[in-house]
A and B are shown apart, each in its own frame.
Chain A
Amino acid sequence: MIKYEQFELENGLKVIVHEDKSTSFITFNLLYNVGSKNEHPSKTGYAHLMEHLMFSGSRTAPNYDKPIDNAGGESNAFTNVDVTNYYITLPKDNIEVAFWLESDRMNNLNVSQNSLDIQKKVVVEEFKETTINKPYGKVWHELSKLAYKEHSYQWPTIGKVPEHIEKATLEDIQNFYKKYYSPNNAFLVLSGNINIDKTKELTEKWFKSIPRSKLSRLQSPKEPIQKESRRKVIQCDAPLNALYIGFQMGGRDDKNFYTTDLISDILGNGKSSRLYRNLVKEKEIFININAYITGTIDNGLLIIEGKIQKEISIAEAEALIWEEINTIKSELISDRELQKIKNSIESTFIFSETSILNKAMNLAYFAALGKPELINDETELYQKITSSDIKKVANQIFARENSIILEIESKL
């Protein structure tokens, strides 16, 4: 059980505090409710480029990193399709440094043409390092395009192409910053050795004077329901063939979200999962195989992915995955297997409590969904799922016409 308290400033900043006295550190986690799904289709990669530029310094902190290093802290950030999340972990006596730096860069960021030019280059190198120069690096671009025809999830967070990032102007970035980087679009979580009173005092001191913005969020178009199976074959400079099968599923507020997640665990989470046990160990079809959900706020995907053994054809590998899918659609799972998945969810939740950073990130994310209580309630939602729920949802999700299939043929 993770205990927390919450309050809101007049300017709309929502704040959550989770006190954990077993550590001498505090994580300061600030989430902005903006991700790559809020980008214009011809200007992609901006949310992530913005994240880089947030480290360029601000009015009273010309260098963002030095005060954190001096305070013995550590900071970083990530961007995904839905949100941008910044975090600093530092010794408790220096927590005010985080309040200073984060409030200043929420309101008074310095972005010069020079820092923009440099970060554009850095991000293009990141694009190359993670996407172009990696054997299976193109997969997410292809899968996203295949799965989403209208919705802005059709491009990955890094952007559609490096050229979008190269073309970003200072004005573009300033507009993006003004629009989304404001207290009424942010969720602050303090997790660690700090109490509610101290948090209130410091939050008011540093964030109270920052004005609200008029949020005119760029909304992603809705994705129409997929009517028939989609398939694409691509060639890659990779030594092994690979197969990705995706199934359209609901978003975070869909009633079947947690059941679908459990289904992905049954199939592909851990060495005793069905796909791993049967297709990696027993039949030796794949080198590795995984099943997971993308877990996005809007409609997401359940993905099954694996790299295929040399002598096995992609078609044979695919047929065997469908066999496993048919089993989960036609047979009720045993009590023991269901209990196994639930036990694993319980353990994972308790293990995550060992890290104040994990707790802070999760609380901020659930707060952004408007349901911070999910941090504790989620495990109960999983515990309630029955074997017949699983069979029913498996039959809804695992329809051929609901699938996208990406075959990767080795060119080597």
Chain B
Amino acid sequence: MENLVVAQIESIVRLVPVFPLLGFLINGIFNKKFSEKAVGWIGSSSVFISFVLSLWSFFLLLSLPPEMRSIESSWFTWIASGSFSSAMAFLYDPLSAVMMLVVTGVGFLIHVYSAGYMRGDGGVSRYFSFLNLFTFAMLLLVMANNLLLLYFGWEGVGLCSYLLIGFWFRKKSAADAGKKAFIVNRIGDFGFGLGIMLLFWTFAAAGRPTINLLLITQAAPELLAGTGIVTVITLLLFLGATGKSAQLPLYVWLPDAMEGPTPVSALIHAATMVTAGVYMVARLSALYVLSPISMAVVAIVGAATALFAATIGTVQNDIKRVLAYSTISQLGYMFLACGVGAFASGIFHLMTHAFFKALLFLSAGSVMHALAGELDMRKMGGVKKYMPVTFAAMFIATLAISGVPLLSGFFSKDEILLNAFTSPFGSPILWALALLAAILTAFYMFRLLFLTFYGPSRMEPEVEHHAHESPRIMTVPLLLLAFLSIIGGYLGFPRVFGGGAWFERFLEPALARSQAADSHLSHSTELLLMLSSVAAAGLGIYLAYNFYIAIPERPKRMAEKFKGLYNIVLNKYYVDEFYNSVFVQPFITLSLFLWKITDVRIVDAAANGLASFFGWFAGQSRFVQTGRFRNYALVFVIGVVILVGFVFLR
């Protein structure tokens, strides 16, 4: 009976990536031959079919006992070379099931929204084909059963990110942002690639050459425990994660990535691509728990990034930038969770974050759409009366991200804070940093809400005249996401209230057993910590209210008072400028040198010189042909004499 279910899952799962790939090919090849509407339908329905298939497999998986919830399904063998082999094959287990549902579900809603948002843009078919390609690559990433295929998907989403950030490529800032994203990601990917190679090498040296994820997870404890090499491997892999998931020090591309269309920011830079790093760490949790140093690095980087990004977000004026820094900050939370051993909590937050962050971005897009592309919050205000539905959705999302109780964000964030405090890998310092970040999160999110929707209107009169609620094709996804933002948290209802922590238990077979899961706290400590996170949210909201509703002049006065500090934070701590002068400019100078001196003067000169030498030589040599018989005869005889001379000398 169970084997039948396994077989069913096997055949369904391998179909999931097919439809987005088809969508990409159809929209890509028949560029501009279909109407806008048809393009939207093709793009969205392909993802919808994948979603339905993922859902179906999920329910089938639930019907299996936990020990059997790990199924591999293969397309074909990709590389088989000596002891190294890699297949185009998928691993379906609780972790990948969750990721697939998030990617296809949220992805589908964003596709539908895009059909409305991108109406009238000339490159709609290109947009949807890239979006489908992205979905395909992301699915490969989360479904891969071996590291090479995962890396393939990893690079694929990086490529699509570049294509979509620079979608309006004629705009220089967009093209530059695309390049920046790709290049910074590449640095991280370099570390990632090295990590994979080192892993394979280590395993091969121990006699078990493989990059299959299941085999690695099984063999890791005995092969790598207590070695130093596992730290190196995990740190290299984490470098890739910092690039892809925008952590310190490779986060600089994400704020610039807001040049792309807003649904792209929602899908790629909030819900899915940036979470790839978290997924990777969770997937390889078996390796990470073997290295306390790596765990500490992950946790510290996560917490530091969370706080760092939150501080920048509090003073930004561009609505999408605030959300971008918020994303970086929330990703920091997810890494913090993984770093303290609570991998399930990290994935839980990944899921809830996908819901409310996508919702936030899409709502912001809705507002921008209505206000003719206005991004600066200082030119908004009082939008509430024009866009009630959008406002409602955004309000729910803001509550969720701030960690207000009863919404999904509260459950997931609270779990992370709890684990940070109690886990043997964690420490109260990390908890304190995370709490501080939580206060700031609530603060800047409500700041955003108040500045945009409340208060007197600061809009241009022309803009205000045309402000209107978005069409249903855009608002329905918003409402669906709002719904998910509310109920999504109940999957991980904390034990202290009698809930079964269903989510955590579901993911258990796929993640490493760490002491974090085993730690038991007294109920009172747990309640106390929960209360503190609620208090943090409350404090943040109150401060935002105070600054932006009650005493609107307060922000300006504070900015005046702390002018230096304000400017530093507003300019993102000048990190971009620092990178530019320390890395980018010297590199450009080196490249120019290599081009002008080495390439042009040395290499080209050598090649051209050789050619012109032969030209000159031939030009001189032609004078040998005098046309005169006697000269030829003379040469003839010279030759004969020399030849006979050789014989003579022998």
Decide whether A and B assemble into one complex. no
